[in-house]
Amino acid sequence: MALDTTIDSPEQVMAHAKARTLISPRFYTTDYDAMNRIDVSPMRAEWDAHMLEYAGDNNHDHFQRTGDFLAEMHDLDPAMRQEFLDFLVTSLTSEYSGCVLYNEIRKNVTNPDMKQLMTYLVRDESRHANFINQSLKDFGLGVDLATLKATKDYTYFKPKYVLYATYLSEKIGYARYITIYRQLERNPEKRFHPIFKWFERWCNDEFRHGESFALMMRADPSLLRGGNVLWIRFFLLAVYATMYVRDHTRPMLHRAMGLESDSFDYKVFDICSEITRQVFPIVLDTDNPKFRAGLSRLHRLSEAAEAAKARGGVVGAIKRAACAVGAAATFARLYVLPVKRNALPEQVRVAPAW
Ligand SMILES: [Fe+2]
Ligand SMILES: [Fe+2]
């Protein structure tokens, strides 16, 4: 499927970063008083050891370009260039979304554990966002992050939703980056842009960020049982479905790396599901043929909705509404599919071993 927005000028990049579609990354606000009350003391020993890892800052020198960075860029044909720019802009927006949220929490809490963690997270996410932005600047398409922060819409999330959603986005971020890194490590001739060489140490930051949220959730077991399991299920499905639909708008990007969007996504789900066993009492059955059929239907409906939007007029509007109803029904059917139960392990922390 073609991307719905051309990315050729700084204005189009900004519009893309600010887009408020179901699959575009969002910016969040939350209840900072509730974040302030988070108590990690039941996990104190693991938490303190974890904070020492952040203090060690093993990636302090990583996000700097080395060698002849630009000389390693392959020439990209126009369609492929669009998909790669879309990848860079959505990745930048996701990284910067974390940076903005963590920074607001940092400024608004007095709880020393939260303040310390958020300071480390902001440090890492701002490095990540700026590193991607440098690559956009190579195309003359850098994003003015201050303007993006001031003008993008914000979505309010309750603190527990922030924990579920950020935990998942950090871990799925790790799973995505490590899968790409390993693929290009095996097939270096397919590394069409040098930024991918940075992904291994980069994704260890994301993995560590996810560990922080895992410890916060395990410190409050009420977040992981009863009615909250329904929320966990919702966030798992929403994150997986969004990634699936978004990735399927970029088939060329994955093919250039020697991957297919479908197998790439299911590999990422496998890694992410295995990791989330540290904290979530359920795991989605992503191998269930009904699950797979549901995701591919969501993708087809998203394509049909884009076509209807391009068509415009009354017929286009009716078709888009029908797609929206179909997508909601498909999501609901996916939501009620059987899930796998998972007994939480005694030790929370896991190592990034993929
Ligand atoms: Fe990041
Ligand atoms: Fe992160």
Residues in CB range of 30: below 8 A, 6 or more apart: 101, 105, 156, 157, 158, 159, 162
Cα(279) to ligand 1 centroid in Å equals 21
Cα(319) to ligand 1 centroid in Å equals 37
Lookup result for tokens 């290009």? 184
Distance CA 21, CA 8 (A): 20
Residues facing 260 on adjacent strands: none
Say how far residue 166 (Cα) sits from the centre of its chain: 8
**Residue among 103, 104, 95 nearest 63 (CA):** 95
Cα(240) to ligand 2 centroid in Å equals 17
**Residue among 251, 12, 328 nearest 320 (CA):** 328
Cα(139) to ligand 1 centroid in Å equals 22
The tens digit of pLDDT for each residue in 43-82 reads 999 999 999 999 999 999 999 998 889 999 999 999 999 9
Shortest-distance ligand to the CA of residue 169: 2
Cα(26) to ligand 1 centroid in Å equals 14
Cα(203) to ligand 1 centroid in Å equals 8
**What DSSP state is assigned to residue 23?**
T
Cα(17) to ligand 2 centroid in Å equals 18
Backbone torsion region of residue 312, taken as left when φ is above 0, otherwise alpha when ψ lies between -120 and 50, otherwise beta:
left
Task: Quote the Cα angle for 185-207-113, to 5°.
Answer: 155
Q: How far is CA 216 from CA 161, 242, 343, in A?
A: 13, 25, 18
Cα(203) to ligand 2 centroid in Å equals 8
Phi, psi of 146 (to 5 degrees): -65, -40
**Residue among 66, 76, 162 nearest 114 (CA):** 162
DSSP-derived secondary structure for 69-126: GGGGPPP--HHHHHHHHHHHHHHHHHHHHHHHHHHHHHHH---HHHHHHHHHHHHHHH
First and final C-alpha spacing in the chain = 31
pLDDT at 22: 80
Cα(125) to ligand 1 centroid in Å equals 5
Shortest-distance ligand to the CA of residue 202: 1
Shortest-distance ligand to the CA of residue 54: 2
The pair of structure tokens assigned to 323 is: 């797609």
pLDDT at 2: 45
pLDDT at 6: 86
Cα(5) to ligand 1 centroid in Å equals 25
| Angle subtended by helix axes 289-311 and 313-335, to nearest 10 | 160
Cα(198) to ligand 2 centroid in Å equals 15
The tens digit of pLDDT for each residue in 207-242 reads 999 999 999 999 999 999 999 999 999 999 999 999
User: Kind of pairing, strands 27-29 and 154-156?
Assistant: parallel
What stretches in the chain show pLDDT beneath 50? 1-2
pLDDT at 100: 96
pLDDT at 4: 54
3-state SS of 145-212? HHHHHHHCCEEECCHHHHHHHHHHHHHHHHHHHHHHHHHHHHCHHHCCCHHHHHHHHHHHHHHHHHHH
Lookup result for tokens 């993708």? 299
Cα(209) to ligand 2 centroid in Å equals 5
Cα(206) to ligand 2 centroid in Å equals 4
Cα(96) to ligand 2 centroid in Å equals 9
Distance CA 213, CA 163 (A): 6
Residues facing 28 on adjacent strands: 155
pTM of the model: 0.94
Cα(309) to ligand 2 centroid in Å equals 34
Residues facing 8 on adjacent strands: none
* 314-318-321-326 Cα dihedral, nearest 10 degrees: -160
pLDDT at 78: 94
Cα(120) to ligand 2 centroid in Å equals 10
Cα(321) to ligand 2 centroid in Å equals 35
At 209, the amino acid letter reads H
